[in-house]
Chains A and B, each alone.
Chain A
Amino acid sequence: MQDVRKALYVGSRSDGTLVQRPMSPHLQIYRRRLSMILSISNRITGVIATGGAALGIFWLNAAAKGEKSYTTASKVARNPLSRLVLFGWIVSVVYHTVGGIRHLIWDSGHRFDKEEVNKDGEVAVRVTVGVSVVLTALLCLVGRRRAKKRG
């Protein structure tokens, strides 16, 4: 701990000698409410979304560079591992968007009550799952149709 709170951790024994005080447990013991999990997940999915966006830029770069680079990029994108990554990225972006809308609602001054927060949290999870499933299904469908056309 390099902050000024470090000084509060020095106490003294009954005989006056100094002793280092322990820190009370936090993450280790605090109840994991849905709101807390959703909040940290918003941060995690934001980082994943950024990573995916970076990969997207590389794909765009490959398309702009030339035919050979684009063919390589397309081959990599068709790899089952890449599809898994794409799926994970889609779910992250959907979740982060839903969570983001929740934050925007709070920032505009609404839905702050404890009951409302908890209810909205459950709705957010359901919407995320629903939209992710629909999007992925559509993408698979379109992808399969295009692959058939390619022959």
Chain B
Amino acid sequence: MNAYEPHVDVMRSHLGRVRGLGVGHSGAEHWWGERASSVVLLPLSTWFVVQMFRLGGASRADVIKWGGKPINATLLIALIITTFYHARLGLQVIVDDYVHGHAYLPMRLLIKLGTFLLGLLGVISVVKLVIAHDSTK
């Protein structure tokens, strides 16, 4: 293994290094999104916990009957979207902290894509439950 030979590469002034590329003029939206989504999630997740008691161990017919009701479908879709929006913001912050260099951008894109697809799958599943409910009527 090559021994690292210390050498002076950077002669830019400290102030220049710290100023860097300047400010990105963003951050408040992300920060607010995290807070707003967490506030919305408080009542939504409480509602979901109650519903979990109803759905645990239930038959598929019961699930369709429950999911087909517009109010349940609406709240469930709202929960799914808010959850994965909140998760995306949270995971992004983790990547910001721990991932540097070349892996940074791909990881950010992966998180956006992953949470989006999961959320979409959830929404489409709920819609399918609603359709299944209507077809049993």
A binds B: yes
| Chain B interface mostly | helix
Contact with B along A39-72 (1 / 0, CB 8 A): 0000100110110011001001101110100110
* B contact residues around A97 at 8 Å (CB): 42, 45
Task: Contact check, A3 vs B91: say whether CB atoms are below 8 A apart.
Answer: no
Q: How far is the CA of A7 from the CA of B5 in the complex (A)?
A: 13
Interface residues of A (CB under 8 A from B): 2-4, 6-7, 9-10, 18-20, 43, 46-47, 49-50, 53-54, 57, 60-61, 63-65, 67, 70-71, 74, 78, 93, 97, 100-101, 103-104, 107, 135, 138-139, 142-143, 146-147, 150
Q: How far is the CA of A86 from the CA of B47 in the complex (A)?
A: 18
Interface residues of B (CB under 8 A from A): 4-10, 17-18, 20, 35, 38-39, 42, 45, 49, 52-53, 56-58, 60, 63-64, 67, 80, 83-84, 87, 90-91, 94, 100-101, 115, 118, 121-122, 124-126, 128-129, 132
* A contact residues around B87 at 8 Å (CB): 46, 49-50, 53
For B6, give its contact among A3, A20, A65 (CB under 8 Å).
A20
| Chain A interface mostly | helix
Q: Which residue of B lies closest to A145 (CB)?
A: B57
With A18-B8, A20-B6, A43-B94 already in contact, the answer to whether A63 and B101 are too (CB < 8 A) is no
Q: How far is the CA of A146 from the CA of B62 in the complex (A)?
A: 13
* B contact residues around A67 at 8 Å (CB): 60
* B contact residues around A43 at 8 Å (CB): 90, 94
Task: Contact check, A74 vs B57: say whether CB atoms are below 8 A apart.
Answer: yes
Q: How far is the CA of A53 from the CA of B80 in the complex (A)?
A: 9
For A53, give its contact among B4, B10, B56, B84 (CB under 8 Å).
B84
Among A2, A7, A19, find the residue whose CB has the most chain B CB atoms closer than 10 A: A7
For A70, give its contact among B52, B60, B115 (CB under 8 Å).
B60
* A contact residues around B5 at 8 Å (CB): 18
The minimal Cβ–Cβ distance linking B1 to chain A, given in whole angstroms, is: 14
Task: Contact check, B8 vs A7: say whether CB atoms are below 8 A apart.
Answer: yes
Among A3, A50, A64, find the residue whose CB has the most chain B CB atoms closer than 10 A: A64
Task: Contact check, A139 vs B129: say whether CB atoms are below 8 A apart.
Answer: no
Task: Contact check, A64 vs B53: say whether CB atoms are below 8 A apart.
Answer: no
* A contact residues around B84 at 8 Å (CB): 53
9 closest cross-chain pairs (CB), A and B = A7-B10, A64-B128, A64-B125, A146-B57, A18-B6, A50-B87, A70-B60, A60-B125, A4-B17
